[in-house]
Amino acid sequence: MKQTTIDSLGEFEGKEVTLAGWLYQSRSSGKIQFLIIRDGTGLCQCVVEKGNVTDELFEQLKHLGQESSLTVTGTVRADQRSVGGYELAVTDAQIISPAEDYPITPKSHGVDFLLKNRHLHLRSQRQWCIGRIRHTVIDAIRRFFNDNGFTLIDTPIFTTIISEDQQSLFEVDYFGSSLHLTQTGQLYLESAAMSFGKVYCFGPTFRAERSKTRRHLTEFWMVEPEVTFIDLDGLLELAENFVSFIAAQVLQKNKNELEALGADTEALEKIKPPFYRLTYTEAVEILTGPKTRDYLAQQLQELQSQKQQLESRIAALEEEQKGPIKQWKQEKNAAELIELRSELGEVSTRIENNPQHTRLAAEFQWGKDLGGSDETIISQMHDKPVFVTHYPKQAKAFYMKTDRDNENVVLNFDLLAPAGFGEIIGGSVREDDYERLLQRIREYNLNPDTYDWYLDLRKFGSVPHGGFGLGVERTVAWLTGEKHIRQCIAFPRMMDRIYI
């Protein structure tokens, strides 16, 4: 008898194997028990029939608590209806460590509860699927750059130089002097690019984000390529090939996980170059024009009818819960009610926000950075990622190169993921002229002395160059259809929540 894992059961059809894992769910009906076992590679239904195991074991298994660890031995049978396509006809089992009163039951739980129990919640099917997809995303990121002539450069986490904005710095006391945690590896990466040509860095990034939105973490992972002798068009091409490669890898390697999560795989099939391209000025025209007004009005109607449907379904379930009703049905209803109420909460919030978002879009002034709701609107109107390019220079970072044909804007882009997800990449061509860069540093009230090494790059053989940064958690959230990016990293850090 062979010990194996659930993902390789296909090789052992008709044979007897042993699985080692945890009890995920179980139900029994008299002479037969169905144990769902998880082992880190998948789920498998194990069928225990009375008479096939000792009576003593049959009783033990019947009372075994969720998340008890055990080994199960049995014959592999193909079964289309079973999770994973195979089931085990159990002949023996050994309990390794019984668990009682596991706090996370198959019922739904609130967000706070699950975050407090993150160390256990990671075992849930949803978190497992997201974790596997995140793994593929990270593997695809490395593969793409490694196979395309990029050299990995590890940039520092303690930094002395401000790159993005001064408000979101995490200060660190470094032997009595003040430093901060990195917001981006970009400036260091630019020096490395002058040595290696095409480079990337990939690591944790820190921002003291005070916004408690679904798109912000205080610690997140960012990958940043930097390339010499490239222009804005070249960067857009690199970014669309890169993102398309990630999406294709996830589709190829994680189809089952995507389906289990209810992700829109058809939408992901469309993620191929070319992506849509809008200039910032065109985006502003869309936001302030009739197209957005009509779009948001129609969306409001749809949300209202969705709200009505949710309310009547909730009322029906609540009524059913009062009556004489089987225990399992009661539990099933309770779980559905939690889901429906949270969905109703979301729909109601969107209805409440609609007038404000409509007003913000209509009154949008050229010159400001696009706000979260503006990005959402543009992104909802597209079925593939959208590049927004040429932002007003005052809305963006000091290092971005101004467009020499229109000095009011910079040669930059944000990439907005479709269907309302919003920004997943920010990037630009970098200012490569010494005097202009110095001027920009002064305009941003930054101290030129701290930028002396960065300015040196413009003194000794300056070349056109640029790059971008892609946020891993936002990308995973978009691909998996997960609403909040906190679910896309194992141990999320946010302004108001660090539990473990």
- Chosen from ligand 4AD, Mg ion, none, partner binding at 64 (C-beta under 5 to 8 Å by type): none
Interface segment toward ligand 4AD; rule CB under 6 A; list 18-26, 122-130, 366-374, 419-427: 419-427
Is residue 61 a contact point for ligand 4AD (CB under 6 A)? Answer: no
In the shown chain, the binding pattern of residues 27 to 46 toward ligand 4AD, with x for contact by CB under 6 A and - for none, equals: --------------------
* Nearest alpha carbon to residue 399 among 439, 354, 364, 371: 439
Dump strand ranges (E) for 366-493. 386-389, 402-403, 406-410, 412-417, 422-429, 465-471
Pick one of 39, 67, 423, 431: the residue that binds ligand 4AD (CB under 6 A): 423
Is residue 137 a contact point for ligand 4AD (CB under 6 A)? Answer: no
Pick one of 473, 478, 480, 492: the residue that binds ligand 4AD (CB under 6 A): 473
CB of 465 to ligand 4AD, least distance (A): 11
Token pair, residue 348, equals 């109601």
Is residue 74 a contact point for ligand 4AD (CB under 6 A)? Answer: no
Is residue 426 a contact point for ligand 4AD (CB under 6 A)? Answer: yes
CB of 213 to ligand 4AD, least distance (A): 9
Ranges within 256-285 binding ligand 4AD (CB under 6 A): none
Of 22 and 220, nearer to ligand 4AD (C-beta) is: 220
Q: Do 465 and 230 meet the contact criterion of CB atoms below 8 Å apart?
A: yes
- Chosen from Mg ion, ligand 4AD, none, partner binding at 370 (C-beta under 5 to 8 Å by type): none
Is residue 216 a contact point for ligand 4AD (CB under 6 A)? Answer: yes
Looking at residue 30, its amino acid is G
b/e burial code for range 38-65 (CB count within 10 A of at least 16 → b) = bbebbbbbbbbeeebbeeebbebbeebe
Pick one of 217, 278, 286, 310: the residue that binds ligand 4AD (CB under 6 A): 217
CB of 451 to ligand 4AD, least distance (A): 15
* Nearest alpha carbon to residue 226 among 393, 46, 428: 428
CB of 184 to ligand 4AD, least distance (A): 4
Q: Is the peptide bond before 274 cis (omega within 30 degrees of 0)?
A: yes
Residues in contact with 351: Cβ distance below 8 Å, sequence separation at least 6, in sequence order: 300, 303, 304, 307
DSSP state letters, 12-63: GBTSEEEEEEEEEEEEEETTEEEEEEE-SS-EEEEEEEBTTB-HHHHHHHHT
Pick one of 391, 413, 451, 468: the residue that binds ligand 4AD (CB under 6 A): 468
Residues in contact with 298: Cβ distance below 8 Å, sequence separation at least 6, in sequence order: none
Q: Do 25 and 68 meet the contact criterion of CB atoms below 8 Å apart?
A: no
* Nearest alpha carbon to residue 399 among 82, 161, 164, 62: 164
Interacting residues with Mg ion (CB under 5 A): 426
Is residue 224 a contact point for ligand 4AD (CB under 6 A)? Answer: yes
Give the interface size with ligand 4AD as a residue count (CB under 6 A).
25
Is residue 422 a contact point for ligand 4AD (CB under 6 A)? Answer: no
Q: Do 275 and 384 meet the contact criterion of CB atoms below 8 Å apart?
A: yes
Pick one of 39, 67, 209, 240: the residue that binds ligand 4AD (CB under 6 A): 209
Give me the residue label for tokens 């919030």: 349
CB of 155 to ligand 4AD, least distance (A): 10
In the shown chain, the binding pattern of residues 173 to 202 toward ligand 4AD, with x for contact by CB under 6 A and - for none, equals: -----------x-x----------------
Is residue 374 a contact point for ligand 4AD (CB under 6 A)? Answer: no
Q: Using CA atoms, how far apart are residues 411 and 78, in angstroms rounded to an integer?
A: 57
DSSP helix/strand/coil, 205: strand
Interface segment toward ligand 4AD; rule CB under 6 A; list 13-21, 263-271, 300-308, 426-434: 426-434
Token pair, residue 182, equals 């990195």
Q: How, if at all, do strands 151-152 and 198-206 pair?
A: parallel
Pick one of 70, 93, 230, 424: the residue that binds ligand 4AD (CB under 6 A): 424
Of 21 and 185, nearer to ligand 4AD (C-beta) is: 185
Q: What count of other Cβ atoms lies within 10 Å of the Cβ of residue 220?
A: 21
Residues that bind ligand 4AD (CB under 6 A): 163-164, 184, 186, 207, 209, 216-217, 220, 222, 224, 423-428, 467-471, 473-474, 485
